[in-house]
Amino acid sequence: MAEVVFVDSEAAAGTLAAASIRSLILRKPDAVLGLATGSTPLSVYAALAASLAADPIDVSRVRGFALDEYVGLPAGHPESYRSVITRDAVVPLGLNPANIQVPSGDPATIRTAGLDYEAAILAAGGVDVQILGIGRTGHVGFNEPGSSFASLTRVKTLTEKTRADNARFFPSVDDVPIHCMTQGLGTILRARHLILLAFGPEKADAIAAAVEGPVSSSKPGSVIQLHPHVTVIVDEAAASKLDNLDYYRYAWAHKPWPGI
Give the span between the Cα atoms of 252 and 170, in whole angstroms: 39
Pick between residue 20 and residue 147 the one whose CB is nearest to ligand F6R: 147
Pick between residue 58 and residue 160 the one whose CB is nearest to ligand F6R: 160
Pick between residue 72 and residue 249 the one whose CB is nearest to ligand F6R: 72
Q: Is residue 196 within 8 Å of 230, Cβ to Cβ?
A: yes
| Shortest spacing between CB 179 and ligand F6R, in angstroms | 14
Site residues (vs ligand F6R, CB under 6 A): 36-40, 67-68, 133-135, 139-142
Q: Is residue 244 within 8 Å of 250, Cβ to Cβ?
A: no
Pick between residue 145 and residue 251 the one whose CB is nearest to ligand F6R: 145
| Shortest spacing between CB 132 and ligand F6R, in angstroms | 6
| Shortest spacing between CB 116 and ligand F6R, in angstroms | 19
Pick between residue 237 and residue 251 the one whose CB is nearest to ligand F6R: 237
Other beta carbons less than 10 A from residue 122's beta carbon: 10
| Shortest spacing between CB 24 and ligand F6R, in angstroms | 20
| Shortest spacing between CB 253 and ligand F6R, in angstroms | 28
Half-sphere exposure of 15 (CA within 13 A, CB side): 8
| Shortest spacing between CB 69 and ligand F6R, in angstroms | 9
- The alpha carbons of the chain give a radius of gyration, in whole angstroms, of 17
154 CA to centre of own chain: 17
Pick between residue 133 and residue 184 the one whose CB is nearest to ligand F6R: 133
SS3 content of the chain, % helix, strand, coil (to 5): 45, 15, 40
By DSSP bridging, strand 154-157 and strand 179-182 are antiparallel
Task: Report which residue's Cβ sits closest to ligand F6R.
Answer: 133
Pick between residue 141 and residue 186 the one whose CB is nearest to ligand F6R: 141
Give the span between the Cα atoms of 84 and 66, in whole angstroms: 10
- The contacts of residue 119 (CB under 8 Å, 6+ apart) are none
| Shortest spacing between CB 196 and ligand F6R, in angstroms | 9
Q: Is residue 20 within 8 Å of 195, Cβ to Cβ?
A: yes
